[in-house]
């Protein structure tokens, strides 16, 4: 769709992109105008209903006084202001806002033409201009080359659907979205206008976060859900048919394994469980089953094993299977699973994306086609992310690069320190040469994350004494936050199993998982060393 403003001497076309996923499109106030406006074909499409467009924020203030007086809706003001370049006077086309008049929306594929020869050269606010050159930059963000900059600005500074001059994205706390007239509701139902309609189908604050993650992951679409487990389970239910088959790995988050092994079989869905490096096992499963989905973490939990994402994706795609990688341990900064060939990248946003141990959330990113399938299932199941949680994750992502850089550095140094310590039997960290997938990790990751797992030289009692002697980290589940966290998986996650049953999964009593925060390395090093000396 293009919208144009025309004066006697110029014409400016500004493309505006509407979200394609059904039922999940932002719906700011309807742009209604009065006066004489027609499409290029001369028609007034759709009667008196309205089309909702997405504009860059806060343009009305930056129009001239006369433009603000004569503009009957913020939408026209934004259309014109979006064409102004920074520190340049408005073009003749921009002056057309004074006569902007419309009582109906625009049909898809048609141009809106507004004719006016008025100017604002005598207005006192003539030099108060907007800071963006064009709406065309909304999706391109060509001036943001670094992932850290993208994590801060994507989805917000350009293209935010919420009209505001606030730097931070507002929280839209609403459970439903209203229609001004019944005709507007009918237009929405017949897909001539757009709306979230109901809180379960979307929220402007949440959409900002979805767009931010999509840009960071290089994805067409992102779906936010209430937690990482919600994202995993809804994704599987949406993409694996009854009687389908999943391939997953031995090392993974326990609750994910429970869902695959306990709940999915009730729907006739079976699974093959292979070692993360067992390519022959994957090929066997693909040849002997109609595999719908390959799903694993990379790195995995808690042994930080790595999967050859590029090779796995080629093998699975040849058999028509979808590949989903849980990249929570890696973060979008350390690994780009979609660029390596995966179809879906999943994150527990509770961890590094949120980054402050204060919010639950999950997300999946990929092509619009695949994510739309999951979104439709999500709309039925209703695991909706609260907009306040979305705001906290948006806030957390502003410091994502700074936190991850510090955590990568601390974890690498601590892993090397622990591996050389006589009271540590074994260390699991992709950044170590001793790690079984170290070379693979170097190939497909730019950093190895902030979690280090290791085995203390001793039994469960000795390991408990080590953990209890630590002064900085909290004994808690989760990871990826500013505060360091430590736990013994045998107690924290597998205590309901016997020692022999835990050993089947490699979970020994002396295993420790340490998530390093952003504290000073020297403080963490001293704390770990004194705790080791205590055993």
Shared-domain flag, residues 275 and 309: yes
3-state secondary structure 194-218: CCCCEHHHCCHHHHHHHHHHHHHHC
Q: What local confidence, expressed as pLDDT, does residue 158 receive?
A: 64
Active site residue 253: yes
Asked, for residue 93, whether it belongs to a domain, the answer is: no
Overall domain count for the chain: 2
Clarify whether 189 is annotated catalytic.
Answer: no
Q: Are strands 38-39 and 291-297 parallel, antiparallel or unpaired?
A: unpaired
Same domain, 393 and 421: no
Distance of alpha carbon 262 from the chain centroid: 29
Q: Is 345 domain-assigned? A: yes
Q: So what's the pLDDT on residue 353?
A: 98
3 is a domain residue:
no
Domain with residue 376: its CATH number is 3.40.640.10
User: Are residues 443 and 390 part of one domain?
Assistant: no
Which pLDDT value is given to residue 140? 56
pLDDT (tens digit per residue) in 54-101: 444 444 444 444 343 343 333 333 333 333 333 444 444 334 333 333
For the domain that residue 510 is a member of, what is the CATH number? 3.90.1150.10
Question: Which three-class secondary structure string do you get for 381-399?
Answer: HCCCCCHHHHHHHHHHHCC
The reported pLDDT for the residue numbered 156 is: 82
Q: What is the pLDDT of residues 18-50, one digit of tens each?
A: 344 444 444 344 333 333 333 334 433 333 333
Of 346, 371, 398, which closes a domain? Answer: 398
- Which residues partner with 208 through β-bridges? none
Same domain as 305, residue 189: yes
Q: Is residue 494 part of a domain?
A: yes
Is 419 among the domain residues? yes
pLDDT of residue 63: 41
Within-domain flag for 335: yes
Please state, as a whole number, how many other Cβ atoms lie within 10 Å of the Cβ of residue 511.
25
pLDDT on residue 456:
98
Does the annotation count 496 as an active-site position?
A: no
With a cut of 50, which residues of the chain have pLDDT below it?
1-138
Of 422, 416, 394, nearest to 224 by C-alpha is: 394
The pLDDT tens digits of the residues spanning 199-213 come to: 999 999 999 999 999
User: Do residues 460 and 311 share a domain?
Assistant: no
The verdict on 374 and 424 lying in the same domain is no
Catalytic one of 215, 351, 375, 401: 351
Paired strand residues for 456: 424
Rounded-to-integer distance, Cα 381 and Cα 237, Å:
10
Query: Helix 279-288 vs helix 309-318: angle between axes, to the nearest 10 degrees?
Result: 20
**Does any domain span residue 438?**
yes
Instruction: Check 19, 54, 160, 200 and give the catalytic one.
Output: 200
> In this structure, how many other beta carbons lie within 10 angstroms of the beta carbon of residue 141?
17
Boundary (domain end) residue, out of 398, 420, 451: 398
Whether 232 and 299 share a structural domain: yes
Residues 320 and 296 in one domain: yes
318: nearest Cα among 274, 287, 344, 339: 287
- For Cα atoms 88, 92, 97, give the angle at the middle one, nearest 5 degrees: 100
Task: Tell whether 327 and 180 lie within a shared domain.
Answer: yes
Task: Please tell me whether residues 359 and 415 are part of one structural domain.
Answer: no
Candidate list 98, 251, 326, 487, residue with the active-site label: 326
Domain holding 520, by residue range, is 400-534
Catalytic residue among 46, 177, 201, 253: 253
Give yes or no: residues 434 and 410 share one domain.
yes
Q: What angle do CA 513, 516, 517 make, to 5 degrees?
A: 140
Tell me, yes or no, if 505 is annotated catalytic: no
Given 398, 430, 463, which residue is the final one in a domain? Answer: 398
pLDDT for residue 141: 62
Beta bridge pairs of residue 202: none
Kindly state whether residues 359 and 474 are assigned to the same domain.
no
Could you tell me what percent of the chain has a pLDDT over 90? 69
Q: Is residue 467 part of a domain?
A: yes
């Amino acid at each position: 769709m293009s919208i144009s403003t025309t004066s006697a001497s110029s014409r400016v076309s500004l493309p505006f992109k509407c979200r394609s996923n059904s039922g999940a499109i932002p719906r700011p106030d309807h742009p209604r105008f009065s006066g004489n406006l027609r499409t290029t074909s001369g028609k007034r499409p759709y009667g008196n209903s309205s089309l909702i467009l997405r504009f860059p924020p806060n343009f009305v203030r930056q129009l001239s006084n006369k433009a603000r007086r004569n503009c009957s809706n913020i939408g026209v003001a934004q259309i014109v202001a979006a064409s102004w370049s920074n520190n340049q006077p408005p073009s003749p086309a921009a002056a057309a806002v004074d006569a902007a008049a419309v009582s109906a929306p625009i049909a898809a594929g048609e141009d809106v033409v507004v004719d006016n020869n008025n100017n604002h050269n005598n207005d006192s606010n003539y030099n108060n201009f907007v800071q963006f050159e064009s709406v065309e930059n909304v999706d391109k963000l060509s001036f943001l080359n670094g992932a850290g900059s993208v994590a801060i600005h994507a989805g917000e500074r350009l293209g935010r659907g919420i009209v505001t001059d606030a730097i931070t994205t507002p929280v839209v706390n609403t459970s439903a979205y209203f229609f001004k007239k019944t005709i507007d509701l009918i237009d929405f139902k017949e897909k001539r206008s757009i709306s979230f309609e109901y809180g379960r189908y979307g929220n402007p604050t949440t959409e900002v976060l979805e767009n931010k993650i999509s840009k960071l992951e290089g994805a067409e679409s992102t779906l936010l859900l209430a937690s990482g487990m919600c994202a995993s389970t809804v994704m599987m239910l949406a993409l694996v048919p009854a009687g389908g088959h999943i391939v997953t790995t031995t090392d993974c988050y326990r609750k994910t394994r429970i869902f695959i092994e306990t709940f999915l079989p009730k729907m006739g869905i079976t699974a093959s469980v292979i070692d993360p490096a067992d390519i022959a096992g994957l090929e066997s499963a693909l040849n002997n089953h109609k595999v719908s989905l390959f799903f694993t973490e990379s790195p995995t939990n808690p042994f930080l094993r790595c999967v050859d994402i590029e090779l796995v994706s080629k093998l699975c795609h040849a058999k028509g299977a979808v590949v989903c990688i849980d990249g929570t341990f890696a973060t979008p900064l350390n690994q780009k699973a979609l660029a390596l060939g995966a179809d879906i990248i999943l994150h527990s946003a509770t961890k590094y994306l949120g980054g402050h141990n204060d919010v639950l959330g999950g997300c999946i990113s990929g092509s619009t086609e695949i994510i739309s399938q999951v979104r439709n299932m999500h709309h039925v199941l209703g695991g909706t992310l609260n907009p306040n949680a979305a705001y906290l994750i948006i806030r957390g992502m502003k410091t994502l690069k700074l936190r991850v850089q510090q955590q990568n550095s601390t974890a690498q140094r601590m892993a090397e320190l622990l591996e050389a310590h006589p009271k540590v039997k074994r260390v699991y960290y992709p950044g170590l040469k001793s790690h079984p997938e170290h070379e693979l990790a170097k190939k497909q990751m730019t950093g190895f994350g902030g979690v280090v797992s290791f085995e203390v030289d001793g039994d469960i009692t000795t390991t408990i004494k080590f953990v209890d002697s630590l002064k900085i980290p909290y004994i808690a589940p989760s990871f990826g936050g500013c505060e360091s966290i430590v736990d013994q998986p045998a107690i924290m996650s597998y205590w309901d199993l016997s020692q022999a049953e835990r050993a089947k999964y490699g979970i020994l009593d002396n295993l420790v998982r340490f998530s390093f925060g952003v504290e000073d390395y020297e403080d963490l090093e001293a704390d770990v060393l004194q705790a080791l000396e205590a055993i």
